[in-house]
Amino acid sequence: MTVAIENGRRQFDYWATVYKRTWKGTLVTSFLLPLLYLAAMGIGLGSFVDDNGSGALGGVSYLRYIAPGLLAATALQIAVGESTYPVMGGIKWQKFYFSMIATPLRPADVMYGQLAFIAFRVFTTCAVFVAIIAVFGGLGSPLGLLALPVALLVGMAAAAPVCAVATRLETDSGFAIIFRFGVLPASLFSGAFFPVSQLPDWIEWLAYVSPLWHAVELSRDLSLGTVSLLPALGNLAYLAAWFAVGTWLAVRGLTRRLIS
């Protein structure tokens, strides 16, 4: 137990130092862009949607419909961004992971520290986003505040398997595939902007496979106060499974790269 605490302290010191030097570079992408996106989509486009009726959305305003989806999508995008180039940098370019395991840290400790920092980035960004949503009137229920831990969970459900992929890639060309064929389609077609039931039948099932859809559904139900216990537990279990399996694969991948 003492060793685990000491290893955690070493990791905290490193990542705290990194963030103190780089936090200003995250202001636009982490805070300003979500604000502008919510204003443009939820209020700008939302006014046109509401004027033409919101029956397809269950009678709620478009702002309240998409706000939980934007929160979950932002969490996923931040998490994937922090799980690609930074992880490869630690292995291939800056190689700071090798310096870390020259101490008593194990590769598993290094990966846990990386995931903890990603969780910090996701949580802080989404906490600000939730506050913005509340100010704009996008929360229909106090339960909507629980969308914050859901956003954190979907971020980690995406971060862990992407870290696992990053530990196995030799070049960063594979990241383009992740963003173009993973992040972008998931953000657009996982129910954040419109019900997935409006998708063609042959592609609708893909939305249900995505962890983002489960986060969007749960976040929206919480925000609107319409959450049901069993579906909520199913969504949480699915997200937790992605995180658990992804973490296991990420630890194995990093151990192989650093020790072999």
DSSP string, 188-241: HHSSSSS-GGGS-HHHHHHHHHSHHHHHHHHHHHHHHT---HHHHHHHHHHHHH
| Neighbouring C-beta atoms of residue 228, cutoff 10 Å | 9
The pLDDT confidence band at residue 217, using thresholds 50, 70 and 90, is very high
Quick: pLDDT tens for 162-180.
999 999 999 999 999 999 9
The pLDDT confidence band at residue 64, using thresholds 50, 70 and 90, is confident
Output 21 or 53, whichever has higher pLDDT.
21
The per-residue pLDDT for 205 is 85
Contact 158, 80 (CB under 8 A): yes
Mean pLDDT of the chain: 86
**Secondary structure class of 168 (helix, strand, coil):** coil
Q: Up-side HSE of residue 41: CA atoms within 13 Å toward CB?
A: 20
The per-residue pLDDT for 39 is 76
CB proximity list for 90: less than 8 A, separation 6 or greater: 96, 97, 110, 114
For the chain, the domains span 2-259
Quick: pLDDT tens for 187-212.
888 888 888 888 888 788 888 999 99
Whole-model pTM: value is: 0.90
The per-residue pLDDT for 137 is 83
The per-residue pLDDT for 204 is 85
